[in-house]
Amino acid sequence: MRTGLGQKQLLLQKLSPQQIQLMKLLQVPTALLEQRIKEEIELNPALEEVDTEPLEDNSESEIDLNAGNEEETPESDENQYSEDAVDLDDYYNGYMEDDPASYKERGETYNPDEEGKSQPLALESSFHEFMEQQLGLLELENDTQLKIAKQIIGSLDEDGYLRREPYGIADDLLFSQNIFTDEKEVLDVLRKIQRLDPPGIAARDLQECLLIQLQLKLDQDEELEDQDLASLKLAIKIVKKQFEAFSKKHFDKLQRSLNISEKQLKNAIQEVLKLNPKPASGHVAGAMERGLQYIIPDFILQNRDGELELALNARNAPDLRISDSFREMLRGLNDQRRVNKLSRQQRDTLQFIKQKIESARWFVDAIKQRSETMSKTMLAIMDYQREYFLSGDQKKIRPMILQDIAERTALDVSTISRVVNSKYVQTEYGVKRLKEFFSESLQNADGEEISTLEVKKILAEIISEEDKKRPHSDDRLTQILEEKGYPIARRTVAKYREQLNIPKASLRKQL
């Protein structure tokens, strides 16, 4: 293959840094926008938040930055700065003219003591700390077993299960702490930990977790009635020897194998249903560790006598401005430049200030464009799904895809996708995810275009009303839907059922 140099002319499309910044901000939900703004403020000292005090008139304090430029010579080292002189009106007053209510200065009643106040947080011990506090209750023989116990507790997952094999824990102790132990000793310590609270802790699978809880209940409840005691013992026997049949709800097989009545089986199953399959879930701090997230709606939609009113959450349009100190430094350097030449350090400082102000302006502009784009998109969705927002009937949700909203807003499909991703709207029927309003269409028996959401709603209603002792199979569900005027294939019914997190018929069966 011959190699050589050549020229080629290509037509490429590239996004500017401002466009990339806007696309990233569009994807950020309201709950994380405040954090994103704080990160930007930490990175850019020229950007700061403002309070909601009335705007002061600073027209008299503005400086004519163009004055004195005629003194500079083209050959001067300062020429590059005179050509690119920063116009403070563009960086600051330009925003005031566009939206004077959105970017404000501090008013006369501003109190600096009000800043920096934080909400006090309750101190909670973590789940692993809670477990380590109980180690004093164990009858451990030596310091090695104590370290093994701590290693086991540290290996528990967020649900309280031990997913690490005993020989793996022994290897971890050898390499990390130079402790020699074997699998047998690890298992001995593990059995002791499994007697701690919460019941079922440190189990290696669901079957062991249930067995631990049942055995603890049997050992601790000394005043059980004969019937309850028999049901508890039968539950232990089922989980220990017939767990696969139990998990698949093969009740007939269980009755034949154990030679028990339906009532006995039902009582035993009730004992198992009382247990906690995730032992660590009951610990408050453990739940906090898993990151409980509260939904903060991005939009608020209200129905006022048949008229829909849409409002953007105020957190989506925070008040930002260029820092006062940076504006003052910029004025000072430009004043000095008109009188004397700037030193190399001062020129670097001027360039730094210019870059930070420009970056801050881009960010403020991106926040503003984000709010406008989100409002424009949600207004189009509200108009398209007006019947649903007025009635709250999910069956009235029209088939809608991203392209439909893109055409109404004159925005790109990718932009619409970023807007609806992880965004929520608060309605009088609850907080809804925007993605819930998008669905494909299909035709009913009358040839009308309907949303797949309508079919899923009817499918869920059919399953909720079925006889739980003889739940409908997917074939039967297909027949019922066809009778109601929704001719769809069996595989489509199975797909919709899975999307609704509804198990198959054999797992929905109850005694």
Residue 117's Cβ-count burial label (10 Å; 0-12, 13-18, 19+) is exposed
Q: Look at the block and give the residue holding tokens 């970017």.
A: 103
pLDDT at 358: 85
pLDDT band of residue 229 (cuts 50, 70, 90) is confident
- Could you give the CA distance from residue 13 to residue 416 in angstroms, rounded to a whole number? 20
Rg (CA), the chain: 34
Q: Which of 380, 263, 368 is nearest to 316 (CA)?
A: 368
Question: What count of other Cβ atoms lies within 10 Å of the Cβ of residue 445?
Answer: 11
Distances (CA, A) of 328 to 240, 246, 349: 77, 75, 13
C-alpha atoms less than 13 angstroms from C-alpha of 474 in its C-beta half-sphere: 16
Q: Give the pLDDT band (50/70/90) at residue 344.
A: confident
3-state helix, strand and coil shares in percent for the chain, rounded to the nearest 5 = 55, 5, 35
* Res 107 pLDDT > 70: no
Interacting residues of 374 by C-beta distance below 8 A, sequence separation 6+: 26, 298, 299, 312, 316, 419, 423
Tell me the C-alpha to C-alpha distance, in Å, between residue 43 and each of 28, 39, 279, 281. 18, 6, 42, 38
* Chain segment 398-409, per-residue pLDDT in tens: 888 899 999 999
Q: Cα separation of 286 and 292, whole Å?
A: 10
Using the predicted structure, report yes or no on whether residue 221 has a pLDDT greater than 70: no
User: How confident is the model over 120-138, as a mean pLDDT?
Assistant: 72
Are 159 and 281 spatial neighbours (Cβ–Cβ below 8 Å)? yes
pLDDT band, residue 288 (cuts 50/70/90): very low
Q: Please report the pLDDT score of residue 117 as a whole number.
A: 44
Span 411-425, pLDDT tens digits? 889 889 888 888 889
Least confident of 26-30, 159-163, 366-370, 466-470: 26-30
- If you average pLDDT over residues 35-41, what whole number do you get? 84
pLDDT grade, residue 211 (50/70/90)? Answer: very high
What whole-number distance in Å separates Cα of residue 367 and Cα of residue 373? Answer: 10
> Residue 80 carries which side chain, given as an amino acid letter?
Q
- Return the amino acid letter for 148: I
Contact between residue 209 and residue 161 where contact means Cβ atoms under 8 Å apart: yes
Handedness of CA 334, 335, 339, 344 (dihedral sign): negative
Q: What is the mean pLDDT of the chain?
A: 78
For the segment 322-334, the average pLDDT, to the nearest whole number, is 81
Mean pLDDT value across residues 371-395: 89
As given in the structure block, the two tokens for residue 155 are 């290996």
pLDDT at 176 over 50: yes
| 103: DSSP letter | S
| Sign of the dihedral defined by the CA atoms of residues 220, 223, 226, 228, in that order | negative
Query: Rounded to an integer, what distance in angstroms lies between the CA atom of residue 104 and that of residue 99?
Result: 10
pLDDT value of residue 397: 85
Query: Hunting for tokens 């008299």 — which residue is that?
Result: 60
Name the residue with higher pLDDT: 24 or 187: 187
**Whether residue 106 has pLDDT greater than 60:** no
Q: Give the DSSP letter string of 195-211.
A: TSSSTTTT-SSHHHHHH
